Amino acid sequence: MRGADDIPISRGFYAVNLSSLRALRAPVLLTLGLVLAACSGTPGTVSRTVPPEYAARADGERMIPAVNPKYLNERNRRRWVDYAGPEAPGTIVVDPYARLLYHVQEGGRAMRFGIAVGREGRGFHGSATVRRKEQYPYWAPTKNMIRQDPEVYAALAGGLPGGLDNPLGARALYLYRGGRDTMYRIHGTMDPASIGKATSAGCIRLFNQDIIDMFDEAELGTPVRVRTRAESLALEGAMVELTSGYLVPATATDLIEADRTANEAAKAAAEAASASASARAQREAELTGQAG
C-alpha cells in the first residue's frame, strides 16, 4: 500500500496544488470554533514538516493556510489505500464511526481522508447523491442548534457569508436522496484541529485542502454511501477514543495502554497538586490565626 508520500502528482486534483492566513474576524467566531472542536494530543506518527498537499495555497483571491503538522497523524492525512468495500469506483464512502472518508477509485484503490464528525454527521446513513456543490458556501445555524446553544448560535442566526471563518470552510458538497436535500454536507472547516475528532455540531468536515481537491474530483451525480455502525465494525473493526479525542483501532493496545497510563499519571499529578495547595492554604490559615 502506498502512503501519503506516494501520491502521484499527475493523478487528478489529488495531486499537489501549491498556493496563507486569513484571521478569524470576530470574537463570536472564536467562540464558535472552540465549541465546534477541541485540540490536544495526536496518536501515531505525525509529520514534522508540512506535506506539499497540505501547504498554503492560493484559492482565487484567498489564501488557504497550511495545515499545522501536529494535526497530520496517520489517520488524518490523506493517503492512497487498498479498498475492499463493495462500492463502485467514483463513490464517496463516509464512515462516521471510524471517522474516515474514502473516494473509491479503479483497481481496488481509494483515496482515504480523516474527517471530523458532528451530531448531524451521525444522524444519517445509507445512499445519497451529490446534487449541489458550493465554493465558500453561506452557513447559518439551524433552529435546533440555536435552541440547544443560544449563547453561541443566537448571534449567528442571520448566517455567515462564505469565507475561511465560515464553519463550512472552502467548499461543500450537498447530498440529496430522491430529489430532496438530506441536509447532510461534506465540507471544509474553520478549525483544522477538529479533524479526526467528534464535534458538538456539523456534518462531515475535512481539511480545506482536502475538500478543495475532492470538490474538483467529485462531479454532480457522484454517489455517496454513509456507513452504519454495523458496516463500520465489519469493515474497519472496533475503535477506541483516546484522551486526546482521536480514534485508534482497538487492536492498537500499545497506544491505548500508553494513553491510559498517561491519563492516570496526569490525574494523579493534578490530585497531588490540589492536595498540596489545600494543605498550604490550611497551614497559612493556621499561621494567620496564631498571629492574630
Among 159, 182, 168, residue whose Cα is nearest residue 212: 168
The residue from 39, 103, 125, 203 that is catalytic is 203
Rg of the chain on CA atoms, in Å: 22
Cell, residue 61: 483571491
Q: Where are the beta strands (DSSP E) in the chain?
A: 57-59, 62-64, 79-82, 92-95, 100-105, 109-114, 116-117, 126-135, 171-177, 180-187, 204-205, 223-226, 239-241, 247-249
DSSP string, 119-148: TGGGS--EEEEEEEEEES--B---HHHHHH
The residue from 39, 103, 125, 187 that is catalytic is 187
* Cα separation, 238 vs 125, whole angstroms: 18
* Cα separation, 70 vs 281, whole angstroms: 39
The answer to whether 187 is a known catalytic residue is yes
Cell, residue 167: 464553519
The answer to whether 125 is a known catalytic residue is no
Angstrom distances, CA of residue 187 to CA of 10, 114, 206: 24, 12, 6
Buried b (16+ CB within 10 A) or exposed e, 19-40: eeeeebeeebbeebbebbbebe
Please give the positions annotated as active site.
Answer: 187, 203
